[in-house]
Structure formats: structure tokens, C-alpha cells
Amino acid sequence: MIWFITKRIAYAMLILLGVSFITYLLLYLIPADPARQIAGRSATAEVVANIRHQLGLDLPFYQQYLRYLGNLLQGDLGRSYVQRSEVAALIGSRLGATLQLMAAGIACELVIGIALGMLAALKRDSAIDRLLMAFSFIGVSSPHFIAAMLLLYVFAVKLAWFPMGGYGGVSHLLLPAITLGLLGSGWYSRMVRSSMIEVLHQDFIRTARAKGLTRARVILRHVLPNAITPVIPMIGIDIGIFMGGLVVVESVFGWPGIGQLAWQAIQQVDIPVIVGVTTVSAVAIIVGNLLADLIIPFIDPRIDIRKS
Amino acid sequence: MAALRIFLTMCRRPSVAVALAFIVIVVVASLLAPWIAPYDPNEQFFEGLTLEGAPLPPNATYWLGTDLLGRDLFSRIVYGARTSLIIGIVANGIAVVIGTLVGITAGFVRGWLGMALMRLTDLMMAFPALLLAIALAAILSPSLWIVALVIAMVNWVQVARVIYSETISIAAREFVAVERTIGASSLRILFSHLLPHLVPTILVWATLGISTTVLLEATLSFLGIGVQPPLPSWGNIIFESQSYFTSASWLVLFPGVAIVALSLSFNLVGDALRDELDPTLKGRR
């Protein structure tokens, strides 16, 4: 057990190291001249050389990378070209709002996905099943910005049930969270449907029914817990797709999280901020997957961690 | 003949038949855009705006209305189909080629190179595809081909993982071992046994991947770092008119419907292809 956890954490560390290398490439190697970008167009050669020295761009390649890695470990993501402040501070001040929306969005995804998947599995091959699966297909084929604008138009502009966006209480949170939930639920509902159909056909379910348990009890106590275990590792994988959706949904609804920060940075070509948000998201994905891997053996004792 | 039979079975599902029809319409529209579009997509009509300078809703002259500059929306959507398809096919084509090469190398050649390639795909999986694409597009300053390249660079990972596990499972089967014992070279096994078995998987992913690509292009264009105006793309039509969508909703609605319909169509066809081509799935639905 301890060996498995250590190995898994060590691998996550290795991937994090790889992530830092790629973000380093994005920040300092691909752009034509980062020092020139920071200094601005009208800067003299002397100023540019000065900034280059400050950033360590005159050092050999591996030293530059080690320096970047050292900064990263101290939580320093570099400086924004446009806003003239620390990227880490910009992200930090918006992290709370994003976590709020993430929690609400993932909750929506799971509730909608599991409920629809269950319903479809129980009504297998009926019109309801086909309708729900068609819905999940449309969900996974729609870009977030279209769904967000559509919901905003119908529920905020036409019906005026919700505010037009911005930061605030539950009424502000609900519409963006539902957008993320509706689009993300497609994968979950398909997965829950197929795993539930599989569980429904197993012997122990027939036994449970035969010993006189009600249908509702069998489904809630015996089928559901077994059918939703594959959902847990899925959440870890899903965080990646979710973070992408967050950029779009936050910018459409004006939710002041790191997604909106990224969107503003895109409009101003503020690369350190974009790369900073990418780095933070990658860390979130790695940690999410790690947690899912570590939690799953406790929930499902059939999974043998020595094999994986 | 087998291909025709599969095609006909797929068409028996009404949803797939509609999806295929829509794909054909989009392909024809993008090939014949100059003949189908009633106007030049970049011409700004004086009478295409109201006296106050607002865009016109759908009417007899401009079937889907006009945009903020008084350009015909229908013509822009027809030309936008070109952009979406070119990027869909080119970007996804590159992604499938890279993914297949990486997957086969890692699964069949193995060794340190295979190990390194799989660790690289693990690493790429740690990045949110959209954010990585955004970062790359922002750095490389977008054009049509750069956008296609950026999408290919983030989309090959999925293909590589699928092809990798397929290759491993095929290479472990007995007929491959038999071939080896009768002295077939690795290259012969690769080209006359492995690749033919991989074709169905590659085909399925080549179709499903176009859906993802269309969505990614639309999203990048919507964020302003995809295809750059005045070249029309369905995503950048919405990008240009997003702040007016409460008063001119058709500017978002029509290109939006086009994006969802195209992506949905490729998803449906890809899914049906998988059902037809993957024998292990037969009867399990």
C-alpha cells in the first residue's frame, strides 16, 4: 500500500517536472524575444539588455530552466507583461471564485449525469432512453460558448430569471454552473448507463430481488454504488476538459475567476498570464488524478493496487 | 464491397443518415461556395444596415440577415464551412498521423523510445487541451494553418493512447507469434498484419476527431485567437458579434447551430462506424 502510494506520488512529481519544462518552453523559448515584449516597442537596446539580464536570458539554457524551476517551486509564476504585477498574485486573487464555480459545476455534472444515466439504464431501449442519449450526444458536441450564450439569452435576457452575469450569490452562480454541468454530464450519463446495465444483469442483483427486497431498495443500495465507481477516476480525467470550459464560461458570464483572467490575457496577448493559468490547471489535473487513484482502492476493494 | 455493406447498415439508423446528409451538404457548400453564396462574404452592403447602423434580421434579400458591418450572414456561413472543414480535415489528419505513429512505435517497437513516447503522452494529458492550444495560438500569432497545427499538436494524444493499447493487444495475439516462428520480419508483421488490424480504429478516430477539431477551432476563433477576420469562420462570426447578441441574436444563433450540427454529425457517424467495425461491441448495446 505504502509502496503504491509512494510510487504514484513520485510519478506525479515526474509529470509535474515535465509540465514545468513545457511551460518554460512556452514562456521563454518560443516567443521571439520575451525581453523585448516586456520592455515594449519604444525601449532602447540598453533597457532590453537590462531586462534580459534580469530574466536571466543571457545565461546558458539549463541554468535558465533551473532558475525558472526554482522560482516555480517558490510559487513565482513570473510577471505579467501588461498588468505589471506578479502572475501568482493575479491568479491567487481569483482562485476563490474559480473554485466556487468548479465545485458547483462538478456537482451539477455529477447530479445531472448520474440521474440521467440511471434513468436511461432503467428505461433501456425505450423512447426516454433514446431521448436522453441523444441529449448527451448533443451535450458533448456543443462548444461551451454557444451553450453559455444560449442559456444567458433564454434565462437572463428573455425570461429574466437570472442576472446577466457577474459575481455574486447563488443566483449569479447557478447559470454558469448549470452550463458546465449540462455539457459535462454527457460523458457521465453514458458511462453510468452502460455500467448500470452491466450491474443490473449480475447474479447478486437477482438474489437481492429474490430474497424479497423492493426494486427501489435494490437499485439504491445494490446497483447504484456499484454502477458509479467508474465515475470516480473519470472526475480526475474530466478536470482537464472542465478547466477548458471554465475559460469560456467565465468569460461569457463575467465570472471573475482564473478563466476570465486567461480570457483577458488572450485579448492583450499577455503570455505569462496565459501560461500561468495553464500551469495552475495542469497542477490541478495532476493532483485530481492522483487523488482519484489514491481514493479508489478504499471505495472499491476489488481493485488490486499491486497490479496497477 | 465490405465498405458498401457497412455504409448501408449505418444508413439504416435515421440519425446517422441525417448526419451523413448534413456532412455532404457542408462538403458541397464549401467546395461550391462561390456559386452557392449569393454575395461576396466580405462585401459591406450600404443597404445591409438600418439607418441607425444596426444589422438586419433575416429577410428576403439577406436570407439569414446581415452582420455588424452589413455583410450577408448566409454567404459568410457558406464560406465559413470551408474554414471549418479545412481545419477539421487538415488538423485532424495531422493528429491521426502523429498519434498512429507514436502509438505503433510505443506499442510495437517499444524499447526506450516507446517508453519515452508514452511518458510524453502522459505529460500531454496533464494539460487541459484548450488552455494549451490557447497558449500556443497566442504565442505563435494565429493564421489558418497555425490554428490547424496548434489543434493537431494537442489532439494527437488521444489517438496515440488508443492506437497504443490496440497495438499491444494485437501484437500479443497468437497469429503474430505464429508469423514470428515461421520467420516473418518485424516489418512484414507491421505492414501486413498489424496495420490492417488497426485500420478500423484509425478510421473511427479520424471521424470522431473531426468533431473535436471543429469544436476546438470554433472555441479558439470565438476567443479571438483562432481564424482571424475578415476570413470567415463559424467561430469568429460569433466572436465579432458577441456583444450584440441580445439585440441581434441571429448572428449567434445561425453559426452556432452550424457548429453544433457539424460536430454532432461527425460524432454520430464516428460512433456508428465504431459499432460496425468493432466486433467486440456487437450485441452489447
B122/A15 Cβ within 8 A: yes
Q: Render pLDDT for B32-44 as a digit per residue (tens, 0 to 9).
A: 989 988 888 888 8
| Grid cell at residue B21 | 446528409
pLDDT for res B209? 92
Amino acid identity of residue A24, one-letter, is Y
pLDDT for res B164? 92
Question: What's the mean pLDDT when you consider all of chain B?
Answer: 87
HEC secondary structure over chain B: CHHHHHHHHHHCCHHHHHHHHHHHHHHHHHHCHHHHCCCCCCCCCHHHECCCCCECCCCCCCCCCECCCCCEHHHHHHHHHHHHHHHHHHHHHHHHHHHHHHHHHHHHHCHHHHHHHHHHHHHHHCCCHHHHHHHHHHHHCCCHHHHHHHHHHHHHHHHHHHHHHHHHHHHCCHHHHHHHHCCCCHHHHHHHHHHHHHHHHHHHHHHHHHHHHHHHHHHHHHCCCCCCCCCCCHHHHHHHHHHHCCCCCHHHHHHHHHHHHHHHHHHHHHHHHHHHHCHHHCCCC
A19/B127 Cβ within 8 A: yes
CA B127 to chain A, closest CA, distance in angstroms equals 5
Q: Render pLDDT for B15-26 as a digit per residue (tens, 0 to 9).
A: 899 999 999 999
A275/B129 Cβ within 8 A: no
B256/A150 Cβ within 8 A: yes
CA separation for the pair B150, B237 (Å, rounded): 20
CA A208 to chain B, closest CA, distance in angstroms equals 24
Please report how the helices B250-277 and B73-104 are oriented relative to each other, as an axis angle in degrees rounded to 10: 30
For B246, which of A143, A150, A153 is closest by C-beta distance? A153
Listing DSSP states for A127-141 in one string gives HHHHHHHHHHHHHHH
Q: Which domains does chain A have, with CATH numbers?
A: 16-73 (no CATH), 94-307 (1.10.3720.10)
Residue numbers of chain A with a pLDDT score lower than 70: 29-34, 37-38, 41, 303-308
For chain B, give every domain's residue range. Answer: 71-278
For B135, which of A19, A274, A286 is closest by C-beta distance? A274
At B155, the pLDDT band (50, 70, 90 cuts) reads: very high
CB contact set of A270 (below 8 Å; sequence gap of 6+): A80, A81, A82, A83, A264
CA separation for the pair A282, A301 (Å, rounded): 29
CA-nearest residue of chain A to B242? Answer: A149
pLDDT for res A31? 64
Q: Render pLDDT for B194-205 as a digit per residue (tens, 0 to 9).
A: 888 899 889 999
| Grid cell at residue A216 | 427501489
Above 80 in pLDDT, residue B30? yes
| Grid cell at residue A13 | 512529481
ipTM of the complex: 0.85
For A282, which of B127, B138, B225 is closest by C-beta distance? B127
At B153, the pLDDT band (50, 70, 90 cuts) reads: very high
For A15, which of B126, B129, B235 is closest by C-beta distance? B126
A281/B238 Cβ within 8 A: no
CA B138 to chain A, closest CA, distance in angstroms equals 6
Neighbours of A297 (CB within 10 A): 16
Q: Which CATH number fits domain B71-278: 1.10.3720.10, 3.50.50.60, 2.160.10.10, 1.10.10.10?
A: 1.10.3720.10
Q: Which of B13, B18, B130 to mutate to test the interface with A (most CBs of A within 10 A)?
A: B130
CA A93 to chain B, closest CA, distance in angstroms equals 20
CA-nearest residue of chain A to B122? Answer: A15
In Å, the largest CA–CA distance within chain A is: 86
Residues of chain B with C-beta less than 8 angstroms from the C-beta of A138: 260, 264
- The dihedral formed by the CA atoms of A291, A297, A300 and A304, expressed in degrees to the nearest 10: 140
Q: Give me the mean pLDDT over the B222-243 stretch.
A: 88
pLDDT for res B281? 55
Above 90 in pLDDT, residue B171? no
B245/A137 Cβ within 8 A: no
Question: What's the mean pLDDT when you consider all of chain A?
Answer: 85
B119/A145 Cβ within 8 A: no
Bridge partners, A86 (sequence order): A79
For A19, which of B126, B135, B140 is closest by C-beta distance? B126
Look up cell 513545457; give the residue. Answer: A22
CB contact set of B104 (below 8 Å; sequence gap of 6+): B163, B167, B190, B194, B198
pLDDT for res B285? 43
pLDDT for res A106? 92
At B283, the pLDDT band (50, 70, 90 cuts) reads: very low
For A143, which of B134, B138, B218 is closest by C-beta distance? B218
Nearest to A288, CA basis, from A245, A224, A242: A242
- Provide residues of B within 8 Å CB-CB of chain A: 15, 119, 122-123, 125-132, 134-136, 138-140, 211, 215, 218-219, 222-225, 235, 238, 242, 245-246, 249, 252, 256, 259-260, 263-264, 267-268, 271
At B280, the pLDDT band (50, 70, 90 cuts) reads: low
A267/B126 Cβ within 8 A: no
pLDDT for res B284? 45
CA-nearest residue of chain B to A130? Answer: B15
pLDDT for res B24? 94
Counting every residue written for chain A, the total comes to 308
